[in-house]
Amino acid sequence: MISIWLWRLTGLAIFEGRLFRTGAAAILAALAVFFIMPPYIRLLKKLDFTSDLDDEGIPVAPIMGGLPLVLTVLVVSLIFALPVIPVIAILVILASYAAVGMVDDIAKIRSKRLIAQGKLKRADYMAKADGISIKVRLFLYFALSLVVAYAVHRFVPHLREGHLAIPFIKPSVYVLDLPGWAFVLFMSFVVAATANGVNFTDGLDSLVTVPIITCAFFAGVVAYICGNAIWSHYLFLPHLPQVDELFIVAGAMIGALGAYLWYNCPPASIYMGDTGSIGFGGAIGMMFIFVKAELFLLVVGVVFFAEAISVAVQIGYFHATGGKRFFRMAPIHHHFQIGLKETYRRRGDINSKIVWRFHLVSLFALIVGLVLFFKVR
């Protein structure tokens, strides 16, 4: 909004252009993270805000690194993006889901401190699970996303029709139509499931950051093109008014997360925690809904999908077989960790190998997703 104010004050059209506002948002977000993160990391270390146990004598990096990232994206988006319904909805999901994640992070920190006080057994503690209960968390996911989904379905014209574009199939051949109530439930499920998948992915240094960036890039590019009447017509895509403002939000995400990689690359100085992974996961899911690319999350966000499916398969197989495991360990990146121990002795070598391969998968999935969305369909 400040950018628009500068445009009206100076008369310089550059302040109104979305490309300029997106670039400025990305740069400002990156600079803010670079400025905030070092003292923030020192503060978290002083407060001992960690959830992992120091079992190998290696200093444990703090969690809740997602808090300054979320706040940065919120502030920068409000500075450069117009307060249209798509932007407001994304920011509401980002803030509310991040709040749920922050409560979960604090609960994990408290559980770890109970171990130091002898009030909780080490054998009963799992850093990724001992926050708020999964039932409460899922209830909050669906409750928050359901409210936002109902609101946008009512007030956003292109979301009143439950049309779903299917990858590999042209809309002229087949489009899946859902009735209004079913589409609202579907939107809520997409947001909640994406947040859960992103949360499962946040298990190794920088593992979750790059897939979030690639998904934000895809959603931002699609939003920019579909929000432009001329370009959307040229590429035979539906014109989605006001959606192009999400290009600025995506730019703020990419800038903030790109700077965060400086501190999160192996060995990580800080972890995103549930505050960031759940917040950004929910926001990504909502962005794909607004650009009418819900099912393309299965392609571009294949890493998130694989992580979530691996957990579901592991739990289902465990109960169906009376205690047997389908994977060595879930989520699936832990399965690969155990498998690579036979080849690599050092833990850092194993983690880096897995992380880089997952990053390459994310980049390849981004390319495939762009080709499918803009050409094949």
DSSP summary character for residue 11: -
Do 297 and 216 touch, CB atoms closer than 8 A?
no
For 193, the domain range is 21-296
pLDDT band at 353 (very low <50, low <70, confident <90, very high): confident
Span 174-183, average pLDDT? 83
Predicted local distance difference test score (pLDDT) of residue 160: 82
- Could you give the angle at the alpha carbon of 17 between the alpha carbons of 234 and 276, nearest 5°? 95
What pLDDT, on the 0 to 100 scale, is given for residue 347? 57
- 373 part of a folded domain: no
Taking residues 15-29, report their average pLDDT.
89
Q: In the 8-state DSSP scheme, what is residue 164?
A: E
The total of structural domains in the chain comes to 1
Q: Taking the CB of residue 293, how many other CB atoms lie within 10 A of it?
A: 24
If one compares 15 and 362, the residue with the highest pLDDT of the two is 362
* Within-domain flag for 363: no
Q: Give mean pLDDT, residues 13-24.
A: 82
Residue 350 confidence class, pLDDT cut points 50, 70, 90: confident
Mean pLDDT of 52-56: 60
pLDDT band at 11 (very low <50, low <70, confident <90, very high): low
Stronger pLDDT, 126 or 17, i.e. the higher one: 17
Contacts of 94 (CB under 8 A, 6+ apart): 70, 73, 74, 279, 280, 282, 283
Average of per-residue pLDDT across 312-320: 87
Give yes or no for residue 126 having a pLDDT over 80: no
Report yes or no on 182 lying in a domain: yes
Q: Is the pLDDT of residue 282 over 90?
A: yes
Phi, psi of 61 (to 5 degrees): -75, 145
DSSP symbol at 375: I
**What mean pLDDT do residues 156-184 have?**
80
Contact present, 344 and 365 (Cβ < 8 Å): no
248 neighbors 2 (Cβ within 8 angstroms)? no
Greater pLDDT, 118 or 159: 159
Would the pLDDT of 295 be above 80?
A: yes
pLDDT classification of 122: cutoffs 50, 70, 90: low
347 part of a folded domain: no
Give the pLDDT band (50/70/90) at residue 365: very high
Least confident of 5-19, 68-82, 134-148, 245-259: 5-19
Nearest-5° Cα angle at 80, 75 to 82: 105
Rounded CA-CA distance 247/350 in Å is 36
Report the alpha-carbon distance of residue 96 to residue 94 in Å, rounded.
6
pLDDT in tens, 194-234: 999 999 998 888 899 999 999 999 999 999 999 998 998 88
Query: Per the domain annotation, does 144 fall within a domain?
Result: yes
Mean pLDDT of the residues in the chain: 87
Q: What is the mean pLDDT of residues 83-112?
A: 93
**Of all helices (H) and strands (E), which one includes residue 151?**
helix 134-155
Quick check: is 352 in a domain?
Answer: no
Whether pLDDT at 51 is above 90: no
